Structure 1
Amino acid sequence: MHQDLVAALDIGGTKIAGALVDSTGGLLVRAQRPTPSRAPAEEVMAALAEVLGELAASPEWSGVRAVGIGSAGPVDAKGGTVSPVNIPGWRDFPLVGNVRERTGGLPVTLVGDGVAMAAAEHWQGAARGRAGALCMVVSTGVGGGLVLGGELHPGPSGNAGHIGHISVDLDGDSCPCGGRGCVERIASGPNIARRALDGGWRPGPDGDVSAAGVAAAAAAGDPVALASFERAARALAAGIAATATLVEIEIAVVGGGVAKAGEVLFAPLRRALAEFATLSFVQGLEVAPAQTGTDAGLVGAAAACWNLEGR
């Protein structure tokens, strides 16, 4: 029987995942439900309660000392509420109180999903041993988290490092967040696909109109698909360079579905970064793919819990 486990929750617009995580980052018990993202608040909470119920039914549950949550944001770690852009039913939803109630009053740590990913990469991934890192999730949205001075830096509300909503195009498209020309509006998967389709790209026989379909076409040399990834890479590079200039990071780690495009994304990203990160103290900035994979959210929610509870 394991002691000192964390019940980790990873909440996104597609799925709600949970696991019992031990101090080596091992996932002992898992549970998952689809997120009823368009449903009212209670239905979304019911899906989360099922995940918790499944974890609690495990004999390992007696070793759980705390709950760590990484959620799509924005989150409010102080108030214990979440208002995920992609779960409209949850606006200022009292998530921490609800989870505490259903787990017999265990301590709960809440961070944004980008912060959770940064915690995972700093503990077990590409940012291990680094004093300063920006870790990014590039998928349906673009999120991120920061490691500064060798420690996770979630900020007071748990959202610090939210790179997706830095403006990199002053006269660009308006973003659903209310801003204009945001990194996410250019570099997220759906926006890469939208731009390629608008430019005249058409999917192959498989009909895949997602960013993965565009990546496959780009790898095969399609000029419109290549141009859409080039544009996304430039937006990411501008955001990364701005962050590095501001807080002096050593490495930018890029994960999420879009990063699976590999060199189709990373080659133009490194080129653009050399163009934007020109000051002497940012020139050595490394870019690396994330290493913690699909479990980053769960491992990171647990890591953030230990990290922040321990302070």
Structure 2
Amino acid sequence: MLNDLVAALDIGGTKIAGALVDTGGRLLARIQRPTPAQESAARLSAAVDEVLGELTAAPEWHRVRGIGIGSAGPVDAKAGTVSPVNIPGWRDHPLVPDVRERVGGLPVTLVGDGVAIAAAEHWQGAARGRAGALCMVVSTGVGGGLVLDGALQPGPSGNAGHIGHISVDMDGDPCPCGSHGCVETIASGTNIARRAHASGWRPEPGGDASAAGVAEAARAGDPRALDAYARAARALAAGIAATATLVEIEIAVVGGGVARAGDTLFTPLRHELARYAVLPYVRSLALAPAITGTDAGLIGAAAASWKSLGVTVA
């Protein structure tokens, strides 16, 4: 069938992924490349081109109706530009015009990566059927998106729900975004590992020094690793509770690489959320791990594209 697919791009601090996606959320022709996050704008654009080049070469490409992009933010959906905090080579980078030119003028929809995970989880994941949800990605950075009144709410610029840059520590560390004490400065995988290292934790020789390694040490009972995850959980809980208090969501869904720590993150997060979500109308807030996993960014970017094309998928 013609025009029954969209192309999706998921652009983050560690990977650039692409796929063709149908109206049922099925992914075809999946591509992935590492993000050259510390390199030049030209090298970053070349990496996106590599992914698009493989997608446009797929035999199903003639069925593609539009392009959806979920990018680390902030993004500017109106201008079609991105300025990811964790990708310093891109500042006000004209991603949408570049992609549109590369794909022959097809319509391109841009949202933040947190909005993309919200779209994915509302379409196929833990927030399916919920009228109000905050869906988060906790990885190299921390992002989020909102579902209100049963519909995705990206906001005019495509950044609504960007919980990673809510300040939860007035005297906290500077954040690359320019503020201080943001959730991301405490709860991202990078900063969980940084906290553990600062306290004296070290992996075994040849071991994993990232947040995943810290999680492994926490499961083994290392107090410094446990502290790093408890601190991250406290920051996340404060941000989630503030959001729930403001807009009365029903559920908070947490995905991304850090969420793969499982109970190492979710046990202290549930405890801290009970301490912060204390008003009567937020005490029943549900908490769940994301279901759509590593495909969330692609599924959500596709959902945003289908929505912009007037096709209902969720």
| TM-score range relative to shorter protein | over 0.9
User: 1:148 and 2:148 equivalent?
Assistant: yes
User: What is the CA deviation profile of residues 133-178 of structure 1, one whole-angstrom value per residue up to 9, with x for unaligned ones?
Assistant: 0011111111111111111110000011110111111111221211
**Following the alignment from structure 1 to structure 2, what is the Cα–Cα distance between the partners of residues 175 and 53?**
35
Structure 1: state its 5+ residue gaps: none
Q: Which secondary structure state, in structure 1, belongs to the residue aligned with residue 218 of structure 2?
A: helix
How far 1:46 moved relative to its partner?
1.8
RMSD of the TM alignment (CA)? 1.3
Q: Which secondary structure state, in structure 2, belongs to the residue aligned with residue 310 of structure 1?
A: coil
User: What is the CA deviation profile of residues 189-214 of structure 1, one whole-angstrom value per residue up to 9, with x for unaligned ones?
Assistant: 11111111211222124432111111
**Following the alignment from structure 1 to structure 2, what is the Cα–Cα distance between the partners of residues 83 and 34?**
18
Q: Which secondary structure state, in structure 2, belongs to the residue aligned with residue 33 of structure 1?
A: strand
Task: Give the residue type in structure 1 aligned to 2:127.
Answer: A
Q: Which stretch of structure 1 is more off in the superposition, 66-75 or 173-182?
A: 173-182
Aligned match of 1:248: 248
Task: Give the residue type in structure 1 aligned to 2:91.
Answer: R
Q: Which secondary structure state, in structure 2, belongs to the residue aligned with residue 21 of structure 1?
A: strand
Aligned match of 1:104: 104
Aligned match of 1:282: 282
**Following the alignment from structure 1 to structure 2, what is the Cα–Cα distance between the partners of residues 75 and 271?**
33
How far 1:40 moved relative to its partner?
2.2
Contact 1:2 1:22 in 2 (8 A): no
**Following the alignment from structure 1 to structure 2, what is the Cα–Cα distance between the partners of residues 187 and 155?**
24
Q: Which stretch of structure 1 is more off in the superposition, 17-26 or 194-203?
A: 194-203
User: 1:163 and 2:156 equivalent?
Assistant: no
How far 1:38 moved relative to its partner?
2.5
Contact 1:136 1:253 in 2 (8 A): yes
Task: Give the residue type in structure 2 aligned to 1:109.
Answer: T
Report matched runs for 1:30-69 at 5 Å. Answer: 30-69=30-69
- The number of aligned residues is 311
Task: Give the residue type in structure 1 aligned to 2:207.
Answer: G
Aligned match of 1:210: 210
Q: Which stretch of structure 1 is more off in the superposition, 32-41 or 120-129?
A: 32-41
How far 1:24 moved relative to its partner?
0.7
User: What is the CA deviation profile of residues 211-257 of structure 1, one whole-angstrom value per residue up to 9, with x for unaligned ones?
Assistant: 11111111111111111111110110000000000000000000011
Contact 2:187 2:235 in 1 (8 A): yes
Report matched runs for 1:1-311 at 5 Å. Answer: 1=1, 3-310=3-310
**Following the alignment from structure 2 to structure 1, what is the Cα–Cα distance between the partners of residues 228 and 32?**
33
**Following the alignment from structure 1 to structure 2, what is the Cα–Cα distance between the partners of residues 62 and 196?**
49
Question: Normalising to structure 2: TM-score of the pair?
Answer: 0.96
Task: Give the residue type in structure 1 aligned to 2:93.
Answer: F
Instruction: Percent identity, please.
Output: 77
Q: Which secondary structure state, in structure 2, belongs to the residue aligned with residue 282 of structure 1?
A: coil
Structure 1 segments (4+ residues) deviating >4 Å = none
**Following the alignment from structure 1 to structure 2, what is the Cα–Cα distance between the partners of residues 227 and 14?**
25
User: What is the CA deviation profile of residues 98-129 of structure 1, one whole-angstrom value per residue up to 9, with x for unaligned ones?
Assistant: 11111111111000111001100000000000
How far 1:180 moved relative to its partner?
1.2
Q: Cα gap change, 1:36/1:247 in structure 2, threshold over 3 Å: closer, same or farther?
A: same
Q: Which secondary structure state, in structure 2, belongs to the residue aligned with residue 281 of structure 1?
A: coil
Q: Which secondary structure state, in structure 2, belongs to the residue aligned with residue 9 of structure 1?
A: strand
How far 1:37 moved relative to its partner?
2.1
Task: Give the residue type in structure 2 aligned to 1:188.
Answer: S
**Following the alignment from structure 1 to structure 2, what is the Cα–Cα distance between the partners of residues 132 and 239?**
16
User: What is the CA deviation profile of residues 1-42 of structure 1, one whole-angstrom value per residue up to 9, with x for unaligned ones?
Assistant: 563200101111222111110011111112222222233222
Contact 1:252 1:287 in 2 (8 A): yes
Question: Normalising to structure 1: TM-score of the pair?
Answer: 0.97
Q: Which stretch of structure 1 is more off in the superposition, 141-150 or 30-39?
A: 30-39
**Following the alignment from structure 2 to structure 1, what is the Cα–Cα distance between the partners of residues 286 and 301?**
25
Contact 2:86 2:141 in 1 (8 A): no
Contact 1:152 1:307 in 2 (8 A): no
